[in-house]
């Protein structure tokens, strides 16, 4: 169908023809996922359904829904109503994450939202119609400030807490559940029981990453648990927690999954893992017989920028389109039979609007769709680009925002033999022409063209601006950098 088929308006004058062909095709991997974090920013159910719709067009079949974190609890649990009465709300802050001001005394918590169980059923039905499975995540025992703000008795300190707005971390905060307190398990059983009844998929994700174990070291109840269970230390206490929660999840007829980090105390048996820091954890877990989903940050974290970091406002790093494309989710060292697949993961600290949710996802999710579908030897970066470009008009027609940063100049610096700074330009893809200025005017194709040699800097210049053309057409944004920034990029 032509791109106009994606239009939200009625379209006239198009012949709706498809060629009669026979297709034999099948995916490389079973788990072809995207994750969206709805805790750092809440997105209404219409946004989630539109996101799933767009995934399904590219046969991405698993939606990992990160429903809880320090910044908000987003799933209605009928037996624990405070989770959404209290835990879904924080004080409003806008802009640079981590630079926010802490809540003022008495300031109302008005920012947030949650999905009712009716909303969730509607989203599940919508996803099922599109052959997308939803994997819900409730992240415990760390990342639990919203839960603890709702039920402070579940932390080691039992002190009142507020849902995090994004202000710098304050050591008085307790975002880790107390493992010595049996109520922790009683309440989590209620949560996972309701999740198991709601969600038809086989996996429930229990989080498990970035646990600050020092709270446990100072807690009499946690220390008592270590003693009575014959554990060596807080690392083993974390594994005790994982095993006990995994058993609860299995008792509800579901399979447990958790984030994988270096877990000194070991994983729970039968627990599937999601490897996020790198591939090593996932490779090791696959060899030990655990099912694995690969989502290594430097290839698949969709919160990382796609273009020049200097043009972004935020605390993250870069994962360009070619880094997602040129990634093999099933490395030779892994036990391939245990690699379920992979996913792109979108954390939303700096994503406050649906348009940004889209532009952080696309086009990187197009490259991931191909990574998960196509056999490794058949994938080639340069011949992916025309296929990608064929889909951009479809995204335009569907009014889905996408980044064009893969067209943009990449600016770095070198030193000449006399130690003077020179500017080097490159690009992710072939057939890009770049034009530059040092005089603070906006370059176009009538300005000097980059010829592949390092550029000497004219006396007095303090910025470089560069633009890209492809097949004679302006593409991507203008990159505008102070030369002091270029200087920092010189490899020592
Ligand atoms: C994670 O990024 N902490 C899973
Ligand atoms: Zn404790």
* Contacts of 245-248 spanning 24+ positions with Cβ under 8 A: 245/140, 245/185, 245/188, 245/192, 245/206, 246/206, 246/270, 246/271, 248/185, 248/188, 248/189, 248/192
Q: Provide the pLDDT confidence category of residue 169 given band limits of 50, 70 and 90.
A: confident
Q: Is residue 40 part of a domain?
A: yes
By most ligand atoms within 8 Å of CB, the mutation choice from 143, 207, 209 for ligand 1 is 209
Give the three-class secondary structure for 464. Answer: strand
Alpha carbon distance 282, 338 (integer Å): 10
DSSP letter at 457 equals P
The arithmetic mean of pLDDT across residues 147-168, rounded, is 95
Tokens of 240: 């005790």
Q: From the CA of 213, which ligand is nearest?
A: 2
What are the tens digits of pLDDT across the range 49-74?
999 999 999 999 999 999 999 999 99
Least confident window among 21-35, 159-173, 349-363? 159-173
Which of 225-239, 262-276, 282-296, 375-389 bottoms out in mean pLDDT, i.e. has the lowest?
262-276
Taking the CA of residue 276 as reference, the ligand 1 atom at the shortest distance is 4
Last residue of a domain, one of 347, 368, 397: 397
Specify whether 217 is catalytic.
no
Does residue 217 carry a pLDDT above 80?
yes
The whole-number pLDDT of residue 230 equals 98
pLDDT over threshold 80, residue 315: no
Residue nearest to ligand 1 atom 2, measured at CA: 276
- For the whole model, what pTM was predicted? 0.97
Which pLDDT score, from 0 to 100, does residue 261 have? 82
Q: Does the active-site annotation cover 66?
A: no
Residues 173 and 221 in one domain: yes
Which percentage of the chain shows pLDDT scores above 90? 93
- Report phi then psi at 324, rounded to 5: -75, -40
**Domain endpoint, select from 359, 376, 397:** 397
For a substitution probing ligand 1, which of 69, 139, 210, 281 has the most ligand atoms within 8 Å of its CB?
Answer: 210
- Is there a contact between 455 and 449 (Cβ–Cβ < 8 Å)? no
Residue 177 sits in the same domain as residue 139: yes
Residue 143 known to be catalytic: yes
- Mutate which of 36, 206, 259 to test ligand 1's pocket (most atoms within 8 Å of Cβ)? 259
- pLDDT at residue 312 in the model: 87
Does one domain contain both 314 and 438?
A: no
Note whether 198 and 303 are same-domain residues: yes
Evaluate whether residue 464 is within a structural domain: yes
CATH number at residue 464: 2.60.40
Could you tell me if residue 16 is inside a domain?
no
Q: Are residues 474 and 355 in the same domain?
A: no
Cα(405) to centroid(ligand 2), Å: 47
| 446 Cα to the center of ligand 1, angstroms | 46
Catalytic residue chosen out of the listed positions 41, 64, 66, 143: 143
Q: Total domain count for the chain?
A: 2
Nearest ligand 1 atom, CA 259: 4
Chain mean pLDDT for the chain: 96
Looking at the CA of residue 297, tell me the nearest atom of ligand 1: 2
How many whole angstroms separate alpha carbon 329 and alpha carbon 133? 20
pLDDT at 489: 96
Write the DSSP assignment of 120-138 as a string of letters.
Answer: HHHHHHHHHHTT-EEEEE-
Q: What is the mean predicted confidence (pLDDT) over 194-214?
A: 97
User: Which domain covers residue 416, as residue numbers?
Assistant: 408-488
Q: How crowded is residue 230: how many other Cβ atoms within 10 Å of its Cβ?
A: 8
Which residues lie closer than 8 Å to 163 by C-beta, 6 or more apart? Answer: 70, 71, 72, 86, 87, 88, 89, 90, 109, 112, 145, 146, 149
- 357 lies in a domain? yes
Query: What residues does ligand 1 touch, defined as CB less than 6 Å away?
Result: 209-210, 259, 276
Q: What is the pLDDT of residue 448?
A: 98
Ligand nearest to the CA of 300: 1
| Contact of 358 with 47, CB cutoff 8 Å | no
Report the CATH number at residue 67.
Answer: 3.20.20.80
**Pair 44, 141 in one domain:** yes
Q: Give me the mean pLDDT over the 425-436 stretch.
A: 97
Ligand nearest to the CA of 211: 1
The mean pLDDT of 132-149, rounded to a whole number, is: 98
Tokens representing 163 are 């849902």
- Whether residue 469 is found in the same domain as residue 393: no
**224 in any annotated domain:** yes
- Does residue 266 form part of some domain? yes
- In terms of domains, do 482 and 345 share one? no
pLDDT tens digits along 253-274:
999 999 998 777 889 999 999 9
Residue 403 domain flag: no
Which among 37, 137, 258, 276 is the best mutation to test ligand 1's pocket, defined by most ligand atoms within 8 Å of the CB? Answer: 276
Distances in Å between the Cα of 112 and the Cα atoms of 186, 303, 330 are: 27, 20, 38
pLDDT at 172: 86
Give ion ligand 2 contacts, CB < 5 A. 156, 178, 180, 219, 221-222
Pairing of the two strands 62-66 and 31-37:
parallel
**Is the domain of 133 the same as that of 194?**
yes
Which tokens belong to 300?
A: 């698949």
**Model confidence at 174: pLDDT above 80:** yes
Measured in Å, residue 470 CA sits from the centre of ligand 2 at 59
Judgement on whether residues 195 and 226 belong to the same structural domain of the protein: yes
More confident residue, 302 or 96: 302
Please, which residues have CB within 8 angstroms of residue 268's CB and are 6 or more apart in sequence? Answer: 239, 242, 243, 245, 246, 247, 256, 258
Looking at 6, 37, 69, 111, which residue is catalytic? Answer: 69
Cα of 317 from ligand 1 centre, angstroms: 14
Q: Which atom of ligand 1 is nearest to the CA of 345?
A: 2
Q: Of ligand 1's atoms, which has the minimum distance to the CA of residue 347?
A: 2
Whether residue 1 lies inside any domain: the answer is no
pLDDT at 492 over 80: no
Looking at all shown ligands, the one closest to residue 139's CA atom is 1
Q: Indicate whether 339 and 476 sit together in one domain.
A: no
Q: What is the pLDDT of residue 98?
A: 81
d(CA 293, CA 133): 15
Domain boundary among 341, 369, 397: 397
- The stretch 15-42 carries a mean pLDDT of 95
Q: How many whole angstroms from 276 Cα to the centroid of ligand 1?
A: 6
* Interval 422-440 mean pLDDT: 97
**Structure tokens that stand for 204 in this block:** 């429930």
Nearest residue (CA) to ligand 1, atom 3: 209
**Distance, CA 10 to ligand 1 centroid (Å)?**
42
Cα–Cα distance measured from residue 476 to residue 486, given in angstroms and rounded to the nearest whole number = 20
Residue 354 has pLDDT above 80, yes or no: yes
Residue pair 147/75 in contact by the 8 Å Cβ criterion? no
Same domain flag for 462 and 483: yes
């Amino acid at each position: 169908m032509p791109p106009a088929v994606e239009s939200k308006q009625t379209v006239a004058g198009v012949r709706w023809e498809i060629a009669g062909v026979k297709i034999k095709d099948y995916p490389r991997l079973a788990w072809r996922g995207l994750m969206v974090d709805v805790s750092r920013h809440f997105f209404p159910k219409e946004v989630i359904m539109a996101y799933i719709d767009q995934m399904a067009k590219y046969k991405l079949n698993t939606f990992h829904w990160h429903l809880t974190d320090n910044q908000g609890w987003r799933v209605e649990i009928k037996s624990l109503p405070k989770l959404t009465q209290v835990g879904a709300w924080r004080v409003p802050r806008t802009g640079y994450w981590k630079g926010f001001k802490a809540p003022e005394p008495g300031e109302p918590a008005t920012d947030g939202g949650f999905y009712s169980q009716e909303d969730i059923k509607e989203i599940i039905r919508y996803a099922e119609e599109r052959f997308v499975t939803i994997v819900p995540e409730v992240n415990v025992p760390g990342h639990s400030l919203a839960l603890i703000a709702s039920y402070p008795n579940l932390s080691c300190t039992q002190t009142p807490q507020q849902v995090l707005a994004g202000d710098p971390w304050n050591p008085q905060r307790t975002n880790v559940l107390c493992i010595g307190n049996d109520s922790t398990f009683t309440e989590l059983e209620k949560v996972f029981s309701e999740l198991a009844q709601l969600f038809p998929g086989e996996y429930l994700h229990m989080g498990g990453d970035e646990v600050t174990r020092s709270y446990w070291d100072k807690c009499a109840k946690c220390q008592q648990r270590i003693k009575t269970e014959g554990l060596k230390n807080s690392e083993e206490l974390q594994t005790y927690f994982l095993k006990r929660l995994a058993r609860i999840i299995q008792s509800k007829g579901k399979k447990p999954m958790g984030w994988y980090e270096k877990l000194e105390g070991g994983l729970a048996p039968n627990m599937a893992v999601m490897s996020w820091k790198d591939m090593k954890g996932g490779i090791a877990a696959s060899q030990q017989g655990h099912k694995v989903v690969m989502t290594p940050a430097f290839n698949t974290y969709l919160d990382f920028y796609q273009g020049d970091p200097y043009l972004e406002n935020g605390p993250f790093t870069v994962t360009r389109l070619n880094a997602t494309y040129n990634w093999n989710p099933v490395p030779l060292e892994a036990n391939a039979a245990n690699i379920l697949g992979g996913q792109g993961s979108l954390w939303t600290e700096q994503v406050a609007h649906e348009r940004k949710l889209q532009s952080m996802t696309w086009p990187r999710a197009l490259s991931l769709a191909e990574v998960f579908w196509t056999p490794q030897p058949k994938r080639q970066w340069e011949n992916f680009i025309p296929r990608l470009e064929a889909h951009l008009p479809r995204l335009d027609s569907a009014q889905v925002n996408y980044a064009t940063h893969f067209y943009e100049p990449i600016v770095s610096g070198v030193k000449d033999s006399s130690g003077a700074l020179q500017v080097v330009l490159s690009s992710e893809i072939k057939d890009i022409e770049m034009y530059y200025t040092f005089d603070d005017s906006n370059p176009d194709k009538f300005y000097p063209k980059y010829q592949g040699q390092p550029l000497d800097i004219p006396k007095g210049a303090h910025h470089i601006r560069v633009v890209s053309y492809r097949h004679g057409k302006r593409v991507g944004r203008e990159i505008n950098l102070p030369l002091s920034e270029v200087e920092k990029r010189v490899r020592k």
